[in-house]
């Protein structure tokens, strides 16, 4: 099992690969969604959703291969003790971590606007702008 710090190097490389892939000219922006998987206590995931007209279905989304399934398993109370707010904490930490990896990978100058949100409204509810 690994920590987020242990996954950062791989994730930065993964994001660099994503940044170097050619985008369809139809893509106007990219929206990243963080899925906490609060219902199943499973591994979180981050997906890229491409926004634009005339995109083929196969061009609309892809999961970022960040190896988040290798993270150390969290205590189940993170997902069940709503007074503690563990799911929101997980969402905010992962969101900040991905944004940091994105910047370290050189994503600030990505060719189209990119944002990061947490799916299902977990966390502080703030969208992170990943590009200038």
SS3 17: helix
Instruction: Report the mean per-residue pLDDT for the chain.
Output: 87
Residue ranges covered by each domain of the chain: 4-129
49-65 average pLDDT score: 81
Q: Does the pLDDT at position 57 exceed 70?
A: no
Which 3 state secondary structure label does DSSP give 48? strand
Task: Give 25-38 pLDDT, tens digit per residue.
Answer: 889 999 999 998 75
Quick one: DSSP state of residue 96? H
Strand partners, 118: 34
User: Which residues are registered as beta bridge partners of 32?
Assistant: 48, 116
What pTM did the predictor assign? 0.89
Output the CA angle 39-37-40, nearest 5 degrees.
40
Residue 76 confidence (pLDDT) above 90: no
Which residues are CB-neighbours of 131 under 8 A, at least 6 positions away? 107, 108, 109, 110, 112, 113, 114
Higher pLDDT, 15 or 70: 15
Whether residue 95 has pLDDT greater than 90: yes
Least confident of 34-38, 64-68, 91-95, 108-112: 34-38
- Report yes or no: 80 and 111 within 8 Å, Cβ to Cβ: no
What is the arrangement of strands in the sheet containing 27-35, beginning at the earlier edge strand?
61-63, 45-52, 27-35, 114-118, 128-129
Average the pLDDT over 47-76 and give the result.
81
- pLDDT computed for residue 1 by the predictor: 47
């Amino acid at each position: 099992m690994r920590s987020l710090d242990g996954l950062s190097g791989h994730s930065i490389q993964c994001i660099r690969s994503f940044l170097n892939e050619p985008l369809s000219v139809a893509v106007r922006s990219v929206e990243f969604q963080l899925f906490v998987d609060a219902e199943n206590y499973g591994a979180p995931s981050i997906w890229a959703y491409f926004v634009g007209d005339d995109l083929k279905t196969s061009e609309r989304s892809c999961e970022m291969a960040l190896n988040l399934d290798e993270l150390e398993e969290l205590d189940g109370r993170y997902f069940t003790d709503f007074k503690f707010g563990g799911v929101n904490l997980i969402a905010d930490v992962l969101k900040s971590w991905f944004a940091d990896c994105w910047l370290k990978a050189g994503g600030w100058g990505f060719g189209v606007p990119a944002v990061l949100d947490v799916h299902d409204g977990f966390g502080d509810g703030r969208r992170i702008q990943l590009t200038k």
